Homo-oligomer: A and B are copies of this chain.
Amino acid sequence: MKIGIFTVLFNDWSLDKVLKYVSGLGYEAVEIAAWKGSNHIDIEKILKGGATEYKKTIEKHGLFISGLSNHLESQLVLGPLDSSTDEQYKGTPEEKVKYGTERMKKTVEAAAALDVPVVNGFTGAPNWGAWYIFPASYEKIFEEGFELFAERWGEIFDFFASHGIKFAHEVHPQEQAYNIETAEQAIKAVDGKKEFGFNFDPSHLVWQGIDPVVFIKRLGERIYHAHAKDAELVKENLPVSGRMPTGAWMRPGRGFRFRTVGWGDVEWKRVMTALLEVGYDYVLSYEHEDPVMSREDGVEKCIAHLKPLVIKAPLEQVWW
């Protein structure tokens, strides 16, 4: 297991400054945001021959790229396709789908050019507002989302396959596959295509009351990438604000918030144990969305917390 970092949090720093800083702290891998607006990569350039030099930039700091991430554009394949995604691409729903699909494919090509085996992202969802299943018509709406998912993403996964790259969907509220059940349903919807798997992120599970360890044990073979992110049900706020607070992430009264690794409710020792048990031995990539402490506080505290929890090897055999 290696500890990596999703560099997008320092999008306002030069890539070089980021690489120097994080490698100096002991991080071993970087996950790079591939969408337009990312200052750490331009996948068009990569596809025009920039791959080798880009890789060198990374490697000279003793790092490697664990995954290209494109959560913002991948989401356009299924939606939301209303004005809320205009920042990513302004257009009709059809145009958004087309744009999202194209950008996904380019990200795949860039990953291939950079020898990066995984692309992380969101599948999107045509109508996440339908999750509550009331009125009854919502049930049908939500179920139809899986058909659309199979139709639109199925073809993209074939493109992944032809390039030897995997897609790691981040199981997350507002996405078609948001819990263990829908993750399994999504696999079934695409007939178990191996290119479709998950970017395990415990923070989105704990706030739903889902045990991340159960996720690992049931979907372990499909975990292609992983995020180190913690989340906190805020004890003093929960009785008022609940688990589904709207409003700004930094307002103090929220009943739920993301936290730096080790400062939330994720039981990291159980998580590390389970990842070892299912044989996941790739990267745990730090994502900072803690609304309380500074980015540097988070980055430094995360590695300090996780390093001692890395298990180098499983037990070979019972010796006793």
- The chain A residues found within 8 Å of chain B, CB to CB, are 8-9, 11-12, 72, 80, 82-87, 127-139, 141-143, 173-174, 178-182, 205, 208-211, 213-214, 217-218, 233, 235-236, 238-250, 252-253, 255, 262-263, 269-270, 273-274, 276-277, 289-297, 301, 304, 308, 311-320
Contacts and interface: CB of A to CB of B under 8 A. Distances in A.
Contacts of A308: 301, 304
Contact of A319 (B11, B82, B182): B11
Given A80-B129, A292-B315, A297-B311, 11 more contacts: A86-B137, A87-B137, A128-B129, A133-B248, A180-B241, A181-B253, A208-B243, A210-B242, A211-B240, A250-B317, A263-B269
Contact of A244 (B137, B179, B240): B179
A214 B242 contact: no
A72 B313 contact: no
A135 B238 contact: no
Contacts of A11: 319
A211 B235 contact: yes
B296 A313 contact: yes
A132 B273 contact: no
A214 B214 CA distance: 15
Given A277-B252, A296-B313, A247 B142 contact: yes
A291 B277 CA distance: 10
A247 B133 contact: yes
Contacts of A214: 236, 239-240
Contacts of A295: 315, 319
Contacts of A86: 137
A240 B215 CA distance: 7
5 residue pairs, one from A and one from B, having the closest CB atoms:
A129-B129, A208-B242, A211-B239, A294-B313, A210-B242
